[in-house]
Amino acid sequence: MPEIQTLILIIEDELSIRRFLRTVLKAQRFRVEEADTAGDGLRLAVEQRPDIILLDLGLPDMDGLEVLSRLREWTGVPIIILSARGREQDKVRGLDAGADDYLTKPFSVAELSARIRVALRHTKRNPAEGVIHCNDLVVDLINRRVWLRDQEIHLTPIQYQLLAVLARHAGRVVTQRQLLTEVWREKTEANPDYVRIYIHQLRHKLERDPVQPRYLLTEPGVGYRLVCEDG
């Protein structure tokens, strides 16, 4: 049986850089898909399910950090930022937003190859699916839609973000600190009470009996867990 080649998606608007990356990566026996806009990159990420994404921040139709945020709503694929923004605060923002690595342009072939090897070593073998089924609850992480007992549930942006994080970690406890980091990101005014308040709101939208929740369980002193088991 032939070996399945690793697929790398390049989201980069500069043709010369895409040509350079394509040549380098194909010489190393990687399969390559390319997008020159954020919109095409997000579409290809869904359709092709790449093993690694190389993401430029200076895209014509959307800031790369927004692309990163959207990808992280539904996939844990390794994402390496390739950017001319070399300031320390830019790197910190990219990594805090969910990137696995950050390379400042221009970079060497050797350095890029090394970063890809590191990313591949940390690739999860079973990445999260784009649609999470929790009994009668369905969370579509790609299209940002939620259904309960075949009826669509309308959530506020924060309510959805909170549910999406729990869905990506379904069955596992997610700490309050992690929820604050992933949902509120750089908003320093966020505090643990926010999590409690929005969990309370979600329970009233999703649970038959919010006092005795079926889906959104509290782990006292730790965090919350989304239960996706039949029974």
pLDDT confidence of residue 25: 96
- What secondary structure, in 3-state letters, does the chain show? CCCCCCEEEEECCCHHHHHHHHHHHHHCCCEEEEECCHHHHHHHHHHHCCCEEEEECECCCCEHHHHHHHHHCCCCCCEEEEECCCCHHHHHHHHHCCCCEEEECCCCHHHHHHHHHHHHHCCCCCCCCCEEEECCEEEECCCCEEEECCEEECCCHHHHHHHHHHHHCCCCCEEHHHHHHHHHCCCCCCCHHHHHHHHHHHHHHHCCCCCCCCCEEEECCCEEEECCCCC
pLDDT confidence of residue 172: 77
Q: Could you name the CATH architecture of 7-121?
A: 3-Layer(aba) Sandwich (3.40)
10 Å CB burial of residue 180 (0-12, 13-18, 19+) is: middle
Task: For residues 21 and 49, give the distance between their C-alpha atoms in angstroms, rounded to a whole number.
Answer: 19
pLDDT confidence of residue 170: 81
127 pLDDT above the threshold of 70: no
Q: To the nearest whole percent, how much of the chain has pLDDT over 90?
A: 54
- 131-226: CATH topology: Arc Repressor Mutant, subunit A (1.10.10)
pLDDT category of residue 126 using cuts at 50, 70 and 90:
very low
pLDDT tens column, 9-27: 999 999 999 999 999 999 9
What value does the mean pLDDT take over residues 141-163? Answer: 93
90 pLDDT above the threshold of 80: yes
158 pLDDT above the threshold of 90: yes
Higher pLDDT, 100 or 38: 38
Query: What values do phi and psi take at 76, rounded to 5?
Result: -105, 15
Considering only CA atoms, which of 168, 181, 162, 179 is closest in space to residue 142?
Answer: 168
pLDDT tens column, 28-49: 999 999 999 999 999 999 999 9
Position of tokens 């070593």?
121
183 pLDDT above the threshold of 90: no
CA quadruple 146, 77, 214, 160: dihedral, nearest 10: -40
Q: What is the mean pLDDT of the chain?
A: 87
pLDDT category of residue 123 using cuts at 50, 70 and 90:
low
pLDDT confidence of residue 1: 39
Domain ranges in the chain with CATH number 1.10.10.10: 131-226
